Amino acid sequence: MKAFIACVILSAGLILAGNEKENLIQNHNFRNGFQSYFRNDKGQMFFAGNDVLQVKGVSGIENAKLSNKLKLKPEALRGKKFLLSFDAKAEKLSGNVMIAIREWEENGKTIAYHAVTFNKWSWHDWKTFKKEFILSSKAVHAGMYLTTSYLNSGDSFLVRNLSLIQE
């Protein structure tokens, strides 16, 4: 009987584990820093560690971008539904922070940004954000972008549990 119960529990665990969907964002927990996973155009603003990405404002830098080209095959995923989710905390913001999935056509023209934007009126505690979208039938590439605009020194924004899954 104990062996039967153990088999049932093991089978249920394997079924549940098999249903877990793949996170399409590489190094989503930032444990490997940025390495080749993320393109960082203003290194002094983005810091990774302890499963958290921190964005710090730097005087004199008006705009910055951290990007990650997604390893997906749009031709197989066009018209499919996706869910972008993450936890964020705005410790202090004087400008804006945007987290988005960008889709673009073969010629490089942007089709859409599926974005969540934060500003100085955002909360100061951890909060979970979710954004559902359908990948365009014209998309040939997609990427994750974290952009900043007009942050001052002393500004701080945190992100953790970054995830993009196909639903």
pLDDT digits (tens, 9 = 90+) for 136-150: 988 888 889 999 999
Q: Enumerate residues 6+ apart whose C-beta is below 8 A from 3.
A: none
How many distinct structural domains can be found in the chain?
1
Confirm whether 84 is domain-assigned.
yes
Judge if pTM exceeds 0.85. Answer: no
Residue 37: the pLDDT is: 64
> In a 3-state reduction of DSSP, which class is residue 75?
helix
Domain that holds residue 47: 23-166
Question: Comparing 2 with 158, which gets the higher pLDDT?
Answer: 158
CATH code for the domain of 52: 2.60.120.260
The position carrying tokens 């909360």 is 123
For residue 84, pLDDT beyond 50? yes
pLDDT confidence of 11, banded at 50, 70, 90? very low
For residue 83, pLDDT beyond 80? yes
Kindly report, residue by residue over 34-76, the tens digit of the pLDDT.
Answer: 766 677 776 678 888 889 999 999 988 889 998 888 877 767 7
